[in-house]
Structure 1
């Protein structure tokens, strides 16, 4: 089975057939019924051509307009996510500066608590020694 597609011949056949059908419909009943049928036929032909073009583009591995639009949409979404991540990183950098000072304060507080604990232990040992001597 040969897959030789001559798009010009296909278009030429389509044009001649649709032209003949159009002429027949206009000659039969030109009023609204004929125009309605012609519009319906045009819609069906457009649908057929869109599907054929989509299949052809898929066959030759070329992206269609819809594929490119979907890719563009995905790129916009990724770009928006990257922007939000950048903002989040900037916020975290600002918070890390605050965390550094918080860590220093916490370390100083721990030192003070150890100092107070040592002083309380000294006081308790002095009290115990004074009670033992009584």
Structure 2
């Protein structure tokens, strides 16, 4: 029986813009006129627009832009107060729906909180 799976690991990724500066920043090297990335499987040709991903163990691989956009979604950026609330609710074994009865959230905030709860998040930088 076929089973369906989703990716659960969070990765870091940066898009290659074809410049030497971007190549240097991403650890690419030039060979026979093309840019290459050293991966666990060997050297991989990287084209302009490809994404360089870094996995949970520090490994790198390149992903074509169209494949990247179909496969990955950027983590939501949320304020520290929301992070504290999510972490407090999770630590006290509350269900996700209980966070919405405790606070007065609008629809867009509810969707963002749910995504952050399930997929992870990035903490918004505080501005002085």
For this structure pair, what is the TM-score category when the shorter chain's length is used for normalisation? under 0.3
Higher helix proportion: 1
Whichever of the two has the greater Rg, that structure is 1
Higher strand proportion: 2
**Higher-RCO chain (CA-CA 8 Å, sequence separation at least 6):** 2
TM-score (norm: length of structure 2): 0.19
TM-score (norm: length of structure 1): 0.19
